[in-house]
Chain A
């Protein structure tokens, strides 16, 4: 049953592929563009950038977001920065080096051609953002400055204090707003996409729910772009926003879009530890903190709860510096997270829950002064103090890894097209560029690369075939059928007369996922988790309680629909993790590790993208493989020692 996937990578030398491709793909003439309608779901970096850029090009665009404004998409919360191969620091950076670092950082599980394209357009992103008025950090000469990030030995990260995501999103939002103001984009705030409408096997529109009135709406598009972010909230606790969800991507998956590498999850090493059962989300402390903070735990278990200020240097184990001297505290995220887990598993955690290590700024403050540290990280320190009631200028921060980003997502080809014609995926919603582990400051880069510089070109290739396709009336039976299905499902949720709240199920799913499909996984746990999740799915539909009706503003109903989808996704993630009998990047299988405990890849059998195909309700999903070919980079064991 499995099929070979066509990634549509253009021929030719790696460095020329994109340039040549761009100059040879078919175009849509300016007079035809206004007749072509594109629906963009999600208005984060990728969605807002794509919607704005396509509208600038002349297409008729409709954009949708579930938040009350496109400016609130969760891209806004990214803190540290955005990578670009500008080499402004004259430290040997280049497009090739950014490409290489990203391939290596992703543990050789991403596509060379995609990653090279990403590195190529990275420089244009910075230019574009500065032109929009994004206030990146500058030095006294008025030029842009950079910081370093994990897994990299050059300074290529552009940043705007600890609020880079906010500033970039506001840039993309302003570009989008400009087009809305001009009437080129029609914006639908507080709308959630609940299904893709397919006609003759091609994506032709969506069913969206107006979250204020609860009314279902039909929207036609010659193409549909999903820029709906990641699915980290399947773990219940994550650094994602409360509303971040997989629903749009999952509906697309059920309509035929393959899901790529769902098990690749990034666990971010520096988050504020869980404080109690009431916890609704976890807060990230930017990776940039590891530029100056030193990670440690006490050497002796009995010292773990002692006042850290009383422990001498001899009594501390700066375990990242000890284990990875070449990169020290700036090892990639997956490595840092696992090392923290190892230290805590050894019993050396530094809080009562057993889940925390120190991130200490004592030496940085002594070296650069408190003012310098405050200028760099002031807002993060403030946030830490607000949440924990501890002063990080005086005491080391307590941190622990938390789910942060999902490298997996809808499978897309080089054009960012999914396996459903006319359906595209951009940003975190697709699986494409980060392999098994994403480097810090690369999510913003990928989101904006897709949105500004890749998708608006590649989608043109498809849309050029659509110029004779008139708009299809939303009275078409396919729309009616899809709407009916959505309505039935909503009614089923709203009419459920169970006793347990949606959150209760979500928490239970999160625990199964974290325990079995989190920082480390094994076959036994994953098998059990699949069975447990299937039970939980049944229990959910039998026993969930959703207050209120479908035709009203009903946040619990929204949440119920999302959790129902997470329950199905969670099962697929476990299946994918179980299938991948190797350790790579964020996917760490306990059975596959080196004697020193490092991840052990199996390049011979697993150098492929697992693209899962939905086979129907209660059917096992079908695994399709896209082999990854490395023509330019030699596969090596990743070492940061």
Chain B
């Protein structure tokens, strides 16, 4: 759980950074070039299989864990217990939202990029940029993204520091730093991701 989770965090950073090219005002040329590179580099391809595997592993492990843990207490309390954070108590639900998001997200872009009918841009690259813009011009699609990114934020808020605890990194000197950096990461990454659809939506609305 923890190791796959931490690996997925590194992926989030690269994915987020790459997607920032959506904000470049060149009609999507840089972004399309980036999308091409991502689908043709053998190294990236290898890493991406590891990534798919990690996502599946993380999801399956998470669901099994949530199911087993729920089964460890068959009779429920009549009065609620609030001595832990919202995120930590709802990792399973948050993760399920993210899983749903990933399916939709991959259908919209990854599937289209690989097998969809997409036109070419000025450089002759497959014009994924237009697909992205078309998707993000619909407010409900953007809303779905924002909700999912909020779920990601909460998921990370607990997940990052929890992963360190699970692998046994807890030290009076370093844990406060890990927790602070983890929280910044949990908020910054989804926030930066969120800028992209919002930017496109507002641009098309203008």
Question: In the complex, A touching B, CB below 8 Å?
Answer: no
Residues of A within 8 A of B (CB): none
B residues contacting A by CB (< 8 A) are none
